[in-house]
């Protein structure tokens, strides 16, 4: 199984400041079709996960442009350019190239 | 609007069975892979199972293989998870999620249904 490792596991951010979460996979997520199957999800308190970023860097419908994803192969980053109060929750990366789908441990983001 | 609504969770004794349902609306259900993902209390996300669009192919996490069965009824726009021989460690919120391509991730999730396995 592909192991997904996130860091840090928790983050306390002042509103308006940037935040960055790292995700590393134990195998390359680059598929022979040329796409890289790395996803980012946010689970807000008491809610189900919601898709933020698909295929490394594409924002899902309705996701604010303060969220951006980057990376390649096995190293990926989610950046929030200016954190807002509504961004609190747990962020998960997930690989979508092989079964079983596997998630990172989650990064809890809170507001200072 | 895409909607996924799970039901069927509850309290069950160890060794018991439960069937979860996920009612889909707002999209052509028969065109998408579907998945089940679970989350134990206070823990992270764990993929459980997937089924392809016509139901001819399924996959399972090792932890549930041989005990859980995923299925779908495209005429009823409904996904199922039959869970047998339940264990305490199966206690979790179970989410259904729409597959976003194959390979691929999940784009829409339901609100989840809680399964508690306890005597």
Q: Which two tokens stand for residue B26?
A: 């707002």
Per-residue confidence band for B97, with pLDDT thresholds at 50, 70 and 90? very high
Instruction: Determine if residue B112 is left, alpha or beta; phi over 0 gives left, psi from -120 to 50 gives alpha, anything else beta.
Output: left
Closest by Cα among A58, A19, A111, A15 to A7: A19
pLDDT at A29: 97
pLDDT at B102: 75
Distance CA A24, CA B99 (A): 22
Asked whether the beta carbons of residue A102 and residue B95 sit closer than 8 angstroms, the reply is no
pLDDT at A112: 92
Mean pLDDT value of segment B67-87: 98
Q: pLDDT (tens digit, 9 = 90+) per residue, A62-81?
A: 999 999 999 999 999 999 99
Chain B residues near residue A37 by CB distance under 8 angstroms: 103-105
Distance CA B111, CA A46 (A): 10
Residue B95 has its nearest CB partner, among A48, A103, A106, at A48
Residue B45 has its nearest CB partner, among A37, A47, A49, at A49
Chain A nearest-CA distance from B64, in A, is 12
Distances (CA, A) of A39 to A91, B3, B56, B102: 10, 21, 26, 13
Q: pLDDT (tens digit, 9 = 90+) per residue, B1-53?
A: 999 999 999 999 999 999 999 999 999 999 999 999 999 999 999 999 999 99
Q: Which two tokens stand for residue A68?
A: 């951006």
pLDDT beyond 80 at B101: no
Instruction: Give the pairing of strands A75-80 and B10-12.
Output: unpaired
Distance CA B42, CA B59 (A): 26
A106 part of contact set with chain B, CB < 8 Å: yes
Distance CA B97, CA B70 (A): 13
The one-character DSSP state at A100 is S
The count of other CB atoms within 10 Å of the CB of residue A41 is 27
pLDDT at B100: 78
């Amino acid at each position: 199984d592909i192991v997904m490792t996130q860091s840090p596991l928790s983050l306390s951010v002042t509103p308006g400041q940037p935040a960055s979460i790292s995700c590393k996979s134990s195998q390359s997520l680059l598929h022979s079709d040329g796409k890289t199957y790395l996803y980012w999800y946010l689970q807000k308190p008491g809610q189900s996960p919601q898709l933020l970023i698909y295929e490394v860097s594409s924002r899902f419908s309705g996701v604010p442009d303060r969220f951006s994803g980057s990376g390649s192969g096995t190293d990926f980053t989610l950046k929030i350019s200016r954190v807002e109060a509504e961004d609190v929750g747990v962020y998960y990366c997930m690989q979508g190239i092989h079964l079983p789908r596997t998630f990172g441990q989650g990064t809890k983001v809170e507001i200072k | 609007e895409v909607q996924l609504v799970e039901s069927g969770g509850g309290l069950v004794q160890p060794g018991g069975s439960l069937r979860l349902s996920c009612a889909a609306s707002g999209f052509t259900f028969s065109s998408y892979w579907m998945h089940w993902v679970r989350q134990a209390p206070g823990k992270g996300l764990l993929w459980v199972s997937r089924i392809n669009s016509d139901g001819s192919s399924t996959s399972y996490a090792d932890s549930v293989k041989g005990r859980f069965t995923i299925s779908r009824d495209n005429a009823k726009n409904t996904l199922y998870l039959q869970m047998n021989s339940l264990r305490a460690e199966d206690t979790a919120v179970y989410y259904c999620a729409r597959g976003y391509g194959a390979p691929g991730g999940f784009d829409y999730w339901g609100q989840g249904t809680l399964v508690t396995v306890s005597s």
